[in-house]
Structure 1
Amino acid sequence: MTKVTAQMSVSLDGFYTGPRDTRNPKEMSGWMRGPEAPGFFRITRWAVDAMGWRERMGFAGGEQSINSEIIEETFAAAGAYVMGRRMFDAGEVPWGEEPPFHAPVFVVTHRTRDVLERQGGTSFTFVTEGLERAVELARDAAGSKDVAVAGGGELLRQVLSAGLLDQLELHIAPVLLGDGQRLFDPSLGLGADDGIELVPTRVVEAPEVTHIRYTVTGRSKLVLDDRGASGDLVGPAQPE
């Protein structure tokens, strides 16, 4: 059964890039010189050093490690991708003529553009009918494989908030950035009495990063836990 999956590198304090780049989208090809890049490259250092990523990008070298195996596994599982327009604008030039996806990519956007065909089996289709339509098209294209949310963080939050995400894998880098774009923020639309529940299904530890995979089980109401309480006590007793 086709799953909708996502994976994201984050800092220990929850940021996936540095502060947001506010330039015009037409200038995003210079993204690596903007404020988001330093934080992004710190938390993705584990991937840049991995042989699986470097081979996918057409680079030599890299380490054959558990990190590399996870990258290879992630690419192999995806039959199609969904992506935000900012992610595409930032990546179009750096990815070059053979982007790393090697599968159809559906870009959620308000700006129309003809389908962009690249080498290696990657195509970019620009979907203006909304997120749900992009996921639907990606499901059709993925066959028996998964639909992977390729970023950025804003689109991932939209997919999660809409209840479309089945699996989330976080790659947690041991660094505190202190500022930047936080992966989970109020745009998830959660109230004071509800949350999105996740069940951890795999934890892989490495010196550079900890990989945690979750199954997303959906929204649920938050309730006061008064197990073991007596009288009006509704939480753990505090030491005197």
Structure 2
Amino acid sequence: MGKVIGELSISVDGYSAGLDQTEERPFGTDGGDGWGSRLHAWMFDTPEENRAERDQFAAAGAYVMGRNMFGPVRGGWDRPWNGWWGDDPPFHAPVFVLTHHAREPQPMEGGTTYHFVTDGIESALAQAREAAGDGDVTLAGGASTINQYLAAGLVDELRLHVVPFTLGAGTRLFEGVPSLRLEQVKSRAASLVTHLTYRVLT
């Protein structure tokens, strides 16, 4: 069985999204422009420098994400859309979306299929584990979703991409999570980000 990995880009003060999230600014106001903004500039502006981390994220056997990481409700779920990620999302694997709104699975180009899970984090993880087989399951965010899994003791590893600026407000990793013991596995500094990997100890 593979690992359960929480993976997230965060500001130095621990925020994965700023305030005032909109369809045009899915990660809120963080001083940048466009979809990726400052929190994710390392992925788009310096992709080759961060190829190892991008490839590692793409290697998961399945993913779990919160509904807001999938995308906002546009016109109600009776007229659903296909999320932030476009017609060919970067996952290329099953993605299990935590939501309170039931919806049929949504296949996309490139091998991604979104499955909408209404019965909680344990159910989503169980389905993702089954889909991943011996592969890893990546918790792709946002911070609120990863916090739930951390609080439940269901995360084996954290991969954090720390971007050198502060947000001061927004959605914060570790909010409401009891004290954790972490073992640093590796770290690597790049021009726009520092990549940190921790094992979550029981």
TM-score by length of 1: 0.74
Distance 1:109 1:203 in 2: 33
Once the 2 structures are TM-superposed, how far is the Cα of residue 37 of structure 1 from its aligned partner?
4.6
User: In the TM superposition, what are the counterparts of 1:33-182 in structure 2 within 5 Å?
Assistant: 33=25, 36-38=28-30, 41-51=37-47, 64-65=48-49, 67-76=50-59, 78-90=60-72, 92-182=82-172
Return the letter of the residue paired with 1:103.
Answer: A
Once the 2 structures are TM-superposed, how far is the Cα of residue 182 of structure 1 from its aligned partner?
1.6
2:159–2:197: 8 Å Cα contact kept in structure 1?
Answer: yes
- The residue aligned with 1:224 is none
Return the letter of the residue paired with 1:86.
Answer: N
Q: Which has the higher contact order (CA 8 A, sep 6+)?
A: 2
SS of the residue corresponding to residue 215 of structure 1 reads strand
TM-score by length of 2: 0.87
* Closer, same or farther: CA 16–139 of 1 in aligned 2, 3 Å: same
* Closer, same or farther: CA 89–35 of 1 in aligned 2, 3 Å: closer
Q: Could you list the runs of 4 or more consecutive aligned residues of structure 1 that deviate by over 4 angstroms after TM superposition?
A: none
Distance 1:130 1:97 in 2: 27
2:144–2:171: 8 Å Cα contact kept in structure 1?
Answer: no
SS of the residue corresponding to residue 168 of structure 1 reads strand
* Closer, same or farther: CA 34–132 of 1 in aligned 2, 3 Å: closer
- The residue aligned with 1:26 is none
- The residue aligned with 1:59 is none
Distance 2:183 2:102 in 1: 38
More helix by percentage: 1
- The residue aligned with 1:16 is 16
1:20–1:181: 8 Å Cα contact kept in structure 2?
Answer: no
1:31–1:37: 8 Å Cα contact kept in structure 2?
Answer: no
Q: Any unmatched runs of 5+ in structure 1?
A: 22-29, 52-63, 219-240
- The residue aligned with 1:206 is 190
Once the 2 structures are TM-superposed, how far is the Cα of residue 177 of structure 1 from its aligned partner?
2.1
Number of matched residues? 190
Deviations 1:156-208 (A, max 9, x none): 100111100000011111112222222122x22x3xxxx21110000111121
* Closer, same or farther: CA 200–127 of 1 in aligned 2, 3 Å: same
Once the 2 structures are TM-superposed, how far is the Cα of residue 17 of structure 1 from its aligned partner?
1.2
Distance 2:62 2:29 in 1: 26
Q: Does 1:197 align with 2:157?
A: no
Using the aligned pairs only, state the percent identity. 43
Distance 1:205 1:33 in 2: 27
Deviations 1:52-104 (A, max 9, x none): xxxxxxxxxxxx22x1221112212x000111111112493442211110000
* Closer, same or farther: CA 87–94 of 1 in aligned 2, 3 Å: closer
Distance 2:180 2:191 in 1: 29
Once the 2 structures are TM-superposed, how far is the Cα of residue 136 of structure 1 from its aligned partner?
0.3
